[in-house]
Amino acid sequence: MSLVSQRAVRVDGSAHSVSPLALGAAGVLFVLYPAMRGFGPEEGLQGAEAFATWTWAAAHMCAMAGFVLVAVALRFLEGWGGGVELTGWLAVSFLLPYYGAEAFALTAAGEWARDNHDYGVLAIADGFRYGVAPMTTFAIGWILLAAVGVVVIVRATRASSGWTTATRCAAAVSGVGLVVFLPMFFVPGSLRIVHGMVLGFALIAWGTGVFVANRAADT
């Protein structure tokens, strides 16, 4: 085998490992997101302390990184084309500003309210949570993410790249988890934690299956 061929094999093998790693990491992060977030009162002293805690910002950063990693995984899934990847990146682009405000602006507001005993400042959350511009971009992001989920479900049923039935099922469950991400905002926190666990473990199982299929194809 020539040096060029050997290098091509190494590069191809490295690319094959990106999707499994990204899916697995995203799965872990989506499990952590609702588990760390907390779902207690968001007003008064309790609300200030909830926003000010490090777990509030960390939880939302887990979600942001998870969305990015899903898009990265789509980039390197063999034969999936650029359409679903582009949709994934567009979804990330519309979702991250809102999540960033939740992670960083609310943390700062919570710290200020806690330290100065001025809990009225927490009302600022409604400004960027329910304003026309943030709600519009947020809604667009969720619609795009749901579209990605639908594509994942369809592709999972048609996958012909050596995926096992278990891998297809894990991919399909992951797709469903992405589709129902938005409705989870309207259910109790305990159900959001369950959703995070189901989506997370499905992504991990999907990534593991893709890794095994890629290894088999490379041998």
Residue 14 lies in a domain: no
Residue 5 lies in a domain: no
Q: CB–CB of 203/24 below 8 Å?
A: yes
Among residues 126, 166, 125, 175, which one has the least CA distance to residue 148? Answer: 175
Q: For residue 7, is it within any domain?
A: no
Distance of CA 3 to the CA centre of its chain: 39
For position 160, what pLDDT does the model report?
60
For residue 3, being part of any structural domain is answered with no
Instruction: Report the distance separating Cα 7 and Cα 9, nearest Å.
Output: 5
Phi, psi of 41 (to 5 degrees): -60, 145
Structural domain count of the chain:
1
Amino acid at 11: V
pLDDT at residue 116, as a whole number = 94
- Is 155 within a domain? yes
Taking the chain (219 residues) in consecutive chunks of 10 residues, what is each chunk's mean pLDDT? 39 71 98 96 92 97 98 89 90 96 94 93 85 93 97 85 89 97 94 98 96 80
* Residue 186 maps to a domain: yes
Could you tell me if residue 4 is inside a domain?
A: no
**Domain presence at residue 8:** no
Report how far residue 144's alpha carbon sits from residue 92's, in angstroms, rounded to the nearest whole number: 9
Distance CA 122, CA 62 (A): 23
Contacts of 149 (CB under 8 A, 6+ apart): 174, 175, 176, 177, 178, 179, 181
Q: Which domain holds residue 135?
A: 19-211
CA distances from 158 to 118, 121, 168 (A): 56, 52, 9
Q: Which pLDDT score is estimated for 6?
A: 39
